[in-house]
């Protein structure tokens, strides 16, 4: 009923998640960023100034945690806290010049990585990989939605 093949495929996928994590972490460390902080820079870069509350929701993390992440990013010069224009309870997290540059670099690095990973893959195989990955992603989404 089950294909022994599938177990090996999952093993390869798990190894990829580890290697991909190592590769990104090494790259981020060079820029003076950690993984969690990078997500903040990435989000603010993509969506513009955000309240810490919005960040907490987007990261699915406690507000307290966001305070810490933003503190770290302020200290290292990637973001600034600015008063929210209309709500005096809230603060806007805004990218500094350095932060904006980092956000651009991250996007470039991401595109470069895509090239490096798939460049020698013929179109046909690349397409097949894409289908398989989408299938796996959809199954994972279902699994996570089920067990609530």
Partner DNA sequence: TATTGTTATACTCTATAACTATA
Partner DNA sequence: TATAGTTATAGAGTATAACAATA
Helices H, strands E: what count in the chain?
Answer: 6, 3
Site for a second copy in 91-110 (CB under 8 A): 110
Closest CA to 106 of 17, 15, 43, 18: 43
Give the shortest CB-67-to-a second copy separation in angstroms. Answer: 23
Site for DNA in 129-148 (CB under 7 A): none
Stretch that binds a second copy, among 65-73, 75-83, 98-106, 135-143 (CB under 8 A): 135-143
Could you say which DSSP state residue 121 is in? S
10 Å CB burial of residue 60 (0-12, 13-18, 19+) is: exposed
Residue 11-40 contact track with a second copy, rule CB under 8 A, x = bound: -xxxxxx-xxxxx--x--------------
Residues that bind DNA (CB under 7 A): 34-37, 51-53, 56, 59-70, 72, 81, 84, 86-91
């Amino acid at each position: 009923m089950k294909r022994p093949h599938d177990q090996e495929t999952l093993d390869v996928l798990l190894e990829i998640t580890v290697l991909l994590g190592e590769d990104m972490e090494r790259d981020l460390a060079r820029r003076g960023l950690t993984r969690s902080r990078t997500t903040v820079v990435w989000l603010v870069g993509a969506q513009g100034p955000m309240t810490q509350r919005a960040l907490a929701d987007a990261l699915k993390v406690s507000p307290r945690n966001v305070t810490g992440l933003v503190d770290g990013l302020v200290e290292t010069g990637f973001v600034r806290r600015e008063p929210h224009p209309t709500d005096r309870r809230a603060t806007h997290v805004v990218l500094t010049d350095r932060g904006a540059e980092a956000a651009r670099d991250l996007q470039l690095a991401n595109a470069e990585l895509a090239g490096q990973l798939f460049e020698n893959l013929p179109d046909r195989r690349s397409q097949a990989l894409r289908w398989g990955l989408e299938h796996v992603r959809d199954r994972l989404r279902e699994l996570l939605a089920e067990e609530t």
